[in-house]
Amino acid sequence: MHLTLLPAEACNFACPYCFQYKKRNVLMSDWVYDAVYKLVESSIEQGLRHLKVGWFGGEPTLTASRIISFMNRLLTLQSRGLLIRGSMVTNGYLLTAELLTEFVAAGIRQFQVTLDGDRENHDRLRYLKDGSPTFDKIYSNLQAMAKLDFEFEISIRCNFLRSSIESMEKMLYMFLRDFGYYRRFSIYFRPVYYYETAQDSVDQFRAEICTIQEGLALQNRLAIQTMQLVKRQSYMRIFDPLPKPTPSWCPSDRVNSYIVGADGTLFVCDTLVGDKSKAIGHLSRDGLIIQNEKAQAWRSTIFDEKNNEKCMSCKLLPLCLGGCHRIRIMTGEPLCFWRHDDIVWAMHQYVKLYASQEPQLAKRESR
């Protein structure tokens, strides 16, 4: 089971490209925490053995004490044979080394923190609601975490525009200098894509937003640079410029995956949270999943859908299984994220990279 919980549908940042349609400025109710616990407890009785709990938002660290309390409650279920993995997506502003220590003790060991390039570019895009800059505080938090001596993982995500590639490269060299020797830290790059939102503040950057294919190409190039400099390859799919066979494009394709809103509303795609018209149901106070008529479309696969001829005849189908489910539902057509030419380019870069470091590995890779 994969549960993404939204303890705070609110945020201390005002990022102009944020894809959430609406932040409802609500915190998770006590009854929702109780209902989630009941859902997990009843699922154990039905055979559940692995639970992944992801904390998302808004900004989850706004309710840190409640998250820690609930995680400690969940951990009591490990005595019944349940393996629990906790993760968090946070802007990192409130994530001090001391708070991270408390989170790790409560079973949350994987964290994603966003830094959009160097200070100048980051503070242009990721600022507090009052407009104050955030880079220095986030970066100092990360530097303090690097001094800790227990196990956790920090993934630094860098969102780029067409105009900010130089800034991404500066960030990569900063990462290499300050975190490159810590295996607990990794860095990866993702393009900002256009999502129409209620505030439409992203419109001021429309000319700087990459197309899907342009974004993928730049992402691949930055990933190759990362491996050249950091001298290691992550096995996380999100970091690797070469595609891999995949059972699903994202958690939204998985039957036992839900996003639980602060008021118990259920979503599947994190880009739609907060918009109740896109919800697939709700969680009852008894911990039951109550689905609505929209759930069926989200629970279908590319093999069930009518307009699947393009994907069924594509030799790259095992790499994406139809790609983004959200796009297929909203447009009726798949949008190809992988192309043959992109893969060939990435493979050639791999061979060059390995040839300079491991001649025998390069020879094996070229075969």
Quick check: 253 and 297 in contact, CB under 8 A? no
Q: Using alpha carbons, select from 291, 287, 279, 283 the residue that is nearest to residue 264.
A: 283
Q: Is the dihedral of CA 8, 12, 15, 21 positive or negative?
A: positive
CA distance readout (Å), 184 to 93, 171, 190, 214? 19, 17, 20, 30
Least confident of 51-55, 197-201, 221-225, 325-329: 197-201
Read off the pLDDT band of 279 (50, 70, 90).
Answer: very high
CA 242/CA 319 separation, integer angstroms = 10
Identify the band that residue 252 occupies on the pLDDT scale cut at 50, 70 and 90.
confident
pLDDT of 285 > 70? The answer is: yes
pLDDT at residue 361 is higher than 70: no
**363: pLDDT strictly greater than 80:** no
Q: How confident is the model at residue 364 (pLDDT cuts 50, 70, 90)?
A: very low
Does residue 360 surpass a pLDDT of 50?
A: no
Query: Which residues have a Cβ under 8 Å from the Cβ of 266 and sit 6 or more positions away?
Result: 258, 259, 260, 279, 280, 281, 282, 283, 289, 290, 291
pLDDT attached to residue 19: 77
Query: How much is the pTM?
Result: 0.91
Who's near 75: CB < 8 A, 6+ residues apart?
84, 106, 107
Confidence band of 216 (pLDDT split at 50, 70, 90): confident
Mean pLDDT of 230-259: 74
Residue 95 has a pLDDT of 98
CATH superfamily ID and name for 2-210? Aldolase class I (3.20.20.70)
